[in-house]
Amino acid sequence: MTAVLDPPADPVVERRRAVQAAAASSLGRRKVASTVALGICWLFLAIAIIPLVAVIAYVIAKGLPAWNRDFFTHSTVPEGYPGGGVWNAIVGTAVITAVATAVAVPVGLTCGLFLAESDGRAAATLRFTADVMTGIPSIIVGIFGYIAIVRNFGGYSGFAGAFAIGFIMLPVITRAGETAFRGVPRSLNEAALALGARRSTVARKVVVPTALPGVITGVLLAVARGLGETAPLLLTIFGNQYLQWNPAKSMEALPILIYNYSNQPYADLVQVAWGAALLLMTVVLVLSIGSRVLAAYLRKERR
């Protein structure tokens, strides 16, 4: 009977055994390293959440005491006078944002439609321009607003502010619109065209309604961004201690009120700044969260 000989040394098997041996011996160390590293990732997650919680907590804690009936119904008063509020800033912010949205949405969505429908060089240039415009620092938009509107039309006004805010909102709406419109299945488009509809009908009755969730989300987010912009307004609307509904005149706005009242020695003015910050933050957060909720809801509806 011949003895069972060991099989000849197979380099592949040898290699595999060596690797497995190395892996087995290092397993303990590797597990520890993994636990530590993942622990750091968890820690970083906590660190990332902390500032948001801290900011919101402080703003609520310091801003809520400022919220009373006068706060929402009276305009600003000089320091030391009682009964002041931020109603003029609320109106100013609302009017400026409304005007900016009213111009930016039609133009932006139409451009978005243009981009979604064409793929030529013009469209590529426009897309690139829109992308670049979203990255322009807002202070430069502010100085542009000053020389474009304030200088040429003889003074500060809500329209100048709306121009600057609209300039910031426009590329955001355009790109969000394009993304939403491109998301409409081609089959729907082609079916409508095959039925003999004109392109404008297709756009009006097929593309826009189908893309509406994405469009609304994009618009809401653009509005939320426009509400938070301060630098462009600082240079274009001048501020106003009185209630002003007319956008052709200088107006007050919540962001610049916060900016001006934040570095004050008078405690009552700082209190108003916190209250205004709470108001602005609440509106912007509601819009942001609301747009997501709406998008999720509408997406579910479609399914």
If one asks whether residue 203 binds another protein (CB under 8 A), the answer comes out as yes
If one asks whether residue 90 binds another protein (CB under 8 A), the answer comes out as no
Sequence-ordered list of residues with C-beta below 8 angstroms from that of 165, at least 6 positions apart, any chain? 96, 97, 100, 226, 229, 232, 233
Tell which one of 14, 44, 68, 185 touches another protein (CB under 8 A).
Answer: 44
CA 157 to chain centre: 25
If one asks whether residue 98 binds another protein (CB under 8 A), the answer comes out as no
Residue placing its CB nearer to another protein in the complex, 5 or 44:
44
Piece of the chain touching another protein by CB under 8 A; list 5-13, 66-74, 94-102, 176-184: 176-184
Tell which one of 97, 174, 189, 210 touches another protein (CB under 8 A).
Answer: 174
| Binding positions for another protein, 236-255, rule CB under 8 A | 238-242, 244, 249-250, 255
If one asks whether residue 143 binds another protein (CB under 8 A), the answer comes out as yes
If one asks whether residue 25 binds another protein (CB under 8 A), the answer comes out as no
If one asks whether residue 154 binds another protein (CB under 8 A), the answer comes out as yes
Closest by CA to 282, choosing from 76, 90, 100, is: 90
Question: Can you name the residues that pair with 251 across neighbouring β-strands?
Answer: 238
Rounded distance, CA 139 to CA 159, Å? Answer: 17
Q: Look-up: residue for tokens 């897309």?
A: 127
| Binding positions for another protein, 67-86, rule CB under 8 A | 77-81
Amino acid code (one letter) for 210: T
First to last CA, the chain: 74
* Neighbour tally for 56: CB within 10 Å: 14
Residue placing its CB nearer to another protein in the complex, 72 or 198:
198
Tell which one of 100, 227, 271, 275 touches another protein (CB under 8 A).
Answer: 227
